[in-house]
Structure 1
Amino acid sequence: MSDDVRSEIRAALNERRLVPVVGVGVSRAAAGLPTWWEAVDAARRHLERTKAVDAGELAEAARLLDAGDLVTAAALLTGRLKDLREWGAWLRGAFRMERGGVRDWRLPSAVFELMCPLLATTNYDPILSFDSLMPREAVSWDRPASMQAALRDSGGVLHLHGVWDKPDTVVFGTGDYDRLAAEESYESVMRALWLDRTLLFIGCSFDGMQDPDIGRLLAWAGKTFGQNQFRHYALLPTAECPPDRVAHLLRQRIQVIDYGPDPGTLPEFLRSLNPSLRTAQIAAVTRAREIVERHDPGDTALLAQLFDQVVPREHRTITVADAAAQVLADRSASAERRRQELFHLQRVAGSMVDRAAMHWVTLERDTYRPVDEESRPRFRATAVRMWSAWQLFPKPLLDALHQRGVQIHRGFLESNLGYFVREVVITADEGGERLGNPDHVDPLDKPYTVQNVQRLASSLESVLAADPFTAFPVPAAGLGSVPAGPSLIVARGDRAEIRAADNLAVPSAALRAGTGALRRIEAIAWRGKTYLTGYSPSAAYLWEPQASLEPAQIHESADGGRVKSVAHIVQGDALHTFVLTEQTIEYLMDFGPRNALALGYNNLAELAALPGPTFVLHDMNDGDRLRGERGTLLTTDQVLTFLAAYETRPDLTSVHISDIHPASMAGRAVLCVTILINRRAGDGYDYRSGVLLAELLGSRLNPFAFLPLPVENAYSVRLQDVTGGFRLVCGAEPGPGDARKPMVFWSAPFPAQGQGLLAVEGSALPEEAMWAVAAPAGEDSIIAALRGNENTLWRVNLKNGRAELIARFADPPIRWLEFAAL
């Protein structure tokens, strides 16, 4: 093929006026569908099986087939099939095709990658409507207005000879061709194609191009435009390119292009003509990533097709259909889904890159030296493949890997460094040769660009090397047996230890989370049972301890963000859960995802669940405040106003919200708000903490009580019902001057409907520690934990303030505890 011909085809593609005319060779290569001769013979054999046709007619059809008179044979058989009402059944058996039935996507993908706005075909099957890059509507000749609209708007697949599932449109025998010739609107469409577009015949044999319909078009064109300078093109194998055939088609203004002796080379030959190949491959990778993110098992066949399209044949080490099925398999546990997703995407992406070249880019290049001219093609080609492989991984998966310690450069998670890599990718072809204006600056002349390609290489190497079982470990089975009755549940490392109330020194059982350190643990009464819930930075967990020592449910953030806070509330028969991450608030019903609210910023520290169900957020943006779905519920100015009504000291200057915890008391929905108080003290400030109680009334929070604490920071707050009222139990986090002060406080009982200040009734645990957390264990005692040089558990008698040491142990450290009846 001359360079002039190649340039003409590439120009037609760039100008979006080239229309591929796809013949049966494409469908045969892709799915083994019959050639025209095989289709006619299949119709004969179908009638033979019915036993309803005279043997003489069948013998005549066979004779016509042997003589090469396919049109007459097809006309004879079509008439009998229609007479017996078997026409539709035969078409369905011969040409019906689903996306998953295509066994080789190489040739269809090469056609799709041309990214032509309009396709045309003489085939009856729907394979061209399976375009992986753009949706295409099949339009048949019986809808002339739609065909004209497709020509004008440049969209769809023109089925010139009909579609199998519309039997009346299928052009098969002499009568059908005569009927087609009488359609003036169809004739006008065909002539418009010839005059206004550049046609490229793909998978059409020389004989196929002489059929009564196409042949008539060619005869008209040769007679009318015999001396025209413009040409159309046909890709034919060497065996079909003798000089007489080439000359015959050239007289009809079709230039034959010999693509070689082996039909299997046609896909790569087609790609060699394609100026949009890089754009098409980037589009394919982007579409694949969108499908992975959507995670709909119904997309398996399309994902397999895209994987087939983006994985180079020379690197093919996987079965793409299996990989796609595994990525989109329906799994109830999100950790299992992420594990499987990572494993199979690693296999696909790993097959797309040259690992040795990627390693060369990562480690064997000096970051601060320009890439020498000899090495630039290899460097560009490696960047192209690495970027395509990187684009396969959905961002939630990359975020989840990053938070689990996989070394991914944050600039690629935030997309601000991708610009520099894309600059290299869009100026290079698959072989690494530079594209575009040679007078423009080569991106590889910029050290920062080279550095970011290297960052991409090292990030991709880390992702490909990540162990799915380490990144998303399988929760280990629990240990021991769960005691019946009152128990202490301690969040310690990645486990929830359960200790019987009558033997707190020894764990009875341990429930494993499997990922990260549990931040909190709490008991929930739901559907007549007691469940335990907890969360780590990567997931939220639900256990039914009396039924199993493994989590009943695991929920990982859908967007891959770090879990910052989880809150639950039971209303009626339903468990409502809100999960706050850096990017979303996810709402779960009965621990199953329902919807998510995207956040425009990540300055939210914590959330609590209240009746409604609704949630309250601690928003540190524009000053501390608590807000809900309908607006601000509580500001620090409101807190100051409330405190001023009960405080007599004038030096109260400001407060800061630090923690929120929901509670209920005598039917009231209460929020415990831990605050830090600033007071003027001499030349500086005196910082103290306290707990404000606010009741949810309609859509606002109404402060009604306050407990001041003689420490700088309160760490945990629990509201405990007592006879006729309530008390608060608090664990403290000492400030700079508080190291020797008691670590646990409890208030005097306070009337259920009381308003005003609460008094500290007692304190305990004077040991130095980082913080303390406490939980009520009946009206007269509390259980407390200290975390310092070692971990300690204590029981505190609220009547006399005496603390009894229960246990002392080393890491993993305690994060939270809960006292509940299991």
Structure 2
Amino acid sequence: MDSEEKTTNKSEQKSRKFLKSLIRKQPQELLLVIGTGVSAAVAPGIQALCSWRSCIEAVIEAAEQLEVLHPGDVAEFRRKVMKDRDLLVVAHDLIRKMSPDCLMEVFDSLEQHIQNPLVLQSILGLMDRGTMVLTTNYDNLLELFGQQQNRPMESLDLKDKTKVLQWARGHIKYGVLHIHGLYTDPCGMVLDPSGYKDVTQDAEVMEVLQNLYRTKSFLFMGCGETLRDQIFQALFLYSVPNKVDLEHYMVVLKDNEDHFYKHQADMLLHGIKVVSYGDRFDLFPGYVQDLSAQICKQRSPDTERVDSTTFLGNACQDCAKRKMEENGMEAPKKLRQPDTDDAGGS
């Protein structure tokens, strides 16, 4: 049975289809938005990385064990997690009340829990070729893995205006922008736009960020409700007109066809094309690897133009030579191009 499943998986991979408009993008035309699905695929052993709900539950558990939250508050937050749909609001209230030590407890020694580095390796491959990355996650799994691969990774926070502008203008190649902050700085973590009032009221920052949404193709990976995220909305959506004319992409699980096609139609209003990586979460890493490989195969237009000109030029010369030989004429000899070492020699 195992061998049959492996064969099925291989055939699925061989027949996998990608949107032509996506795989024809140059890596530097893309901005990758990483959600909890990426962390869940990379480190499945850490429950807190699997979803916002799991993250909040893990933090509540840590707060209870460390006795840094009143038992009554623990019970109230557990009730909210079960009933409240807006988990970002719950997370915001929880972080405001608890000790920062809880987050350090939940996310400690992340690099030791990387089980499936395939997704991170694929993302690094895109970054090597100019793809920008931002994340709604608190963890720095990508940065830790990248450092292991000898990349000068850098975690960026929205409150550092200088760094944000450098990143947005493409000057920090291996920078990862954490729009909610990072667990290593719990006091800097923000879950609603009011926490970034200085950022959202800064015309220079907002212009350069929203220009990214107008000029780059955002590729959402492992993102469930990112467009409902108030910070993402404030940074990229509120002031960008004619979103339906944009070309962004969202990779999702298709476990329910009706939900998938409704989601697909809804997202088109935001200029986002929704594509499925399959009907099982374990297909996600392989899809990301294949998609990344397809995009990284693209060559810059300048390179293609040079190659095609050279190829056609040589082909035409060969045709002319054959034609002259067929007519009994001697083809002219090619002039020898000077070697670099010969040029300018004494």
2:139 is the alignment partner of 1:121: no
Q: 1:72 aligns with which of 78, 89, 113?
A: 89
- Residues 505-524 of structure 1 show CA distances to partners (whole Å, capped at 9, x for unaligned) of xxxxxxxxxxxxxxxxxxxx
Matched with 1:112 is 124
Correspondence for 2:53 among 37, 52, 58? 37
Structure 1 residue 276: Cα displacement: 5.6
Residue matched to 1:190: 209
Say whether the 8 Å CA contact 1:177–1:213 is kept in structure 2: yes
Residues in 1 aligned to 2:119 and 2:244: alpha-carbon distance in whole angstroms? 33
Alignment-derived partner of residue 243 in structure 1: 261
Paired residues of 1:137 and 1:157 also in contact (CA < 8 A): yes
Partners of 1:59 and 1:187 lie apart in 2 by: 39
Is the CA contact 1:10–1:275 (under 8 Å) kept in the aligned structure 2? yes
* CA distance in 2 between partners of 1:47 and 1:267 (Å): 33
Query: Which of the numbers 118, 122, 135 marks the counterpart of 2:152?
Result: 135
Distance 1:92 1:262, change over 3 A: same
Check conservation: 1:246, 1:256, Cα contact below 8 A. yes
Cα-Cα RMSD: 3.2
Relative to structure 1, is the Cα distance of residues 192 and 133 closer, same or farther in structure 2, using a 3 angstrom cutoff?
A: farther
- Equivalent of 2:222 in 200, 203, 206: 203
Task: Give the alignment partner of residue 114 of structure 2, picking from 54, 78, 102.
Answer: 102
| Residues in 2 aligned to 1:276 and 1:11: alpha-carbon distance in whole angstroms | 6
Can you list the C-alpha shifts for 1:318-371, whole angstroms capped at 9, x where unaligned?
A: xxxxxxxxxxxxxxxxxxxxxxxxxxxxxxxxxxxxxxxxxxxxxxxxxxxxxx
Are the counterparts in 1 of residues 92 and 190 from structure 2 also a CA contact under 8 Å?
no
Asked whether 1:225 is paired with 2:234, we answer no
CA shift in 2, pair 1:147/1:219, >3 Å:
closer
Q: CA deviation at 1:22?
A: 0.7
TM-aligned CA distance change 1:147 to 1:226, over 3 Å: closer
For the residue of structure 2 that corresponds to 1:135, the secondary structure is coil
Larger relative contact order (Cα-Cα within 8 Å, sequence gap ≥ 6): 2
With over 3 angstroms needed to count, the CA separation of the structure-2 counterparts of 1:267 and 1:13, relative to structure 1, is farther
The 5 Å alignment of 1:400-411 reads: none
Q: If the length of structure 1 is used for normalisation, what is the TM-score?
A: 0.31
Report the CA distance between 1:238 and its aligned residue: 0.4
1:679-726 Cα distance to aligned partner (Å, 9 max, x none): xxxxxxxxxxxxxxxxxxxxxxxxxxxxxxxxxxxxxxxxxxxxxxxx
Identity %: 22
1:255 aligned residue (273, 288, 292): 273
Q: Is the 8 A contact 2:213 2:236 kept in 1?
A: no
Does the C-alpha gap of structure 1 residues 70 and 227 become closer, same or farther in structure 2, counting only changes over 3 Å? closer
Q: Deviations over 1:230-270 (max 9, x none)?
A: 21111001026522222221111111111111222223222
Deviations 1:624-654 (A, max 9, x none): xxxxxxxxxxxxxxxxxxxxxxxxxxxxxxx
Structure 2 counterpart of 1:44, which letter? I
Distance 2:235 2:164 in 1: 17
SS of 1:164's partner is coil
Q: Distance in 2 between matches of 1:237 and 1:5?
A: 15
Q: Secondary structure at the match of 1:123?
A: coil
Distance 1:210 1:268 in 2: 27
Shift of 1:199: 0.8
User: Residue 268 in 1 paired to residue 281 in 2?
Assistant: no
Shift of 1:36: 1.1
Greater helix proportion? 2
Equivalent residue letter for 1:260:
G
Note closer, same or farther for the CA distance 1:100–1:65 as it changes in structure 2 (3 Å cut): closer
Counterpart contact for 1:113–1:276, Cα < 8 Å: no
Alignment of 1:171-186 (within 5 A): 171-172=190-191, 176-184=192-200, 185=202
Summarize deviations over 1:266-317 as a string: whole Å, max 9, x none: 23222333346579xxxxxxxxxxxxxxxxxxxxxxxxxxxxxxxxxxxxxx
Q: How far apart are the structure 2 equivalents of 1:211 and 1:276? A: 28
Aligned-partner residue type, residue 231 of structure 2: D
Q: What is the SS of the residue equivalent to 1:242?
A: helix
What is the distance in 2 between the residues matched to 1:9 and 1:54?
Answer: 50
Q: Which residue of 1 aligns with 2:9?
A: none
Q: Which has the higher strand share?
A: 1
Q: Which residue of 1 aligns with 2:21?
A: 8
Deviations 1:771-810 (A, max 9, x none): xxxxxxxxxxxxxxxxxxxxxxxxxxxxxxxxxxxxxxxx
Which residue number in structure 2 is paired with residue 804 of structure 1?
none
| Separation of aligned partners in 1, 2:60 and 2:233 | 25
Q: Which runs of 5+ in 2 are unaligned?
A: 1-15, 299-306, 313-346
Structure-2 separation of matches of 1:69 and 1:80: 18
1:278–1:99: structure 2 CA closer, same or farther, 3 Å change rule?
farther
Distance in 1 between residues matched to 2:102 and 2:73, nearest whole Å: 18
Structure exhibiting the larger radius of gyration computed from Cα positions: 1
How far apart in 1 are the matches of 2:91 and 2:199? 21
Q: 1:193 to 1:113 in 2, by over 3 A?
A: same
Match of 2:326 in 1: none
2:155, 2:177 within 8 Å by CA — same for their partners in 1? yes
Report the CA distance between 1:160 and its aligned residue.
Answer: 1.5
Alpha-carbon shift at residue 146 of structure 1 (Å): 0.5
Query: Structure 2 vs 1, CA of residues 116 and 171 (structure 1 numbering), >3 Å: closer, same or farther?
Result: farther
The Cα shift of 1:4 comes to: 11
- For residues 233-632 of structure 1, what are the structure 2 equivalents within 5 Å? 233-239=249-255, 241-273=259-291, 274-275=293-294, 277=296
**Residue 184 (structure 2) pairs with residue 165 (structure 1):** yes
Per the TM alignment, residue 182 of structure 1 is displaced from its structure 2 partner at its CA by 4.9
CA distance, structure 2, for counterparts of residue 105 and residue 52 of structure 1: 34
Equivalent residues, number: 272
- Report what 1:380 is aligned to: none
Contact persistence 1:190–1:217 (CA under 8 A): yes
Per the alignment, in what secondary structure is the counterpart of residue 115 of structure 2?
Answer: coil
Aligned partner of 1:195: which letter? R
Structure 1's 265 and 52: CA in aligned 2 closer, same or farther, altered over 3 A? closer
What displacement does 1:10 show? 2.8
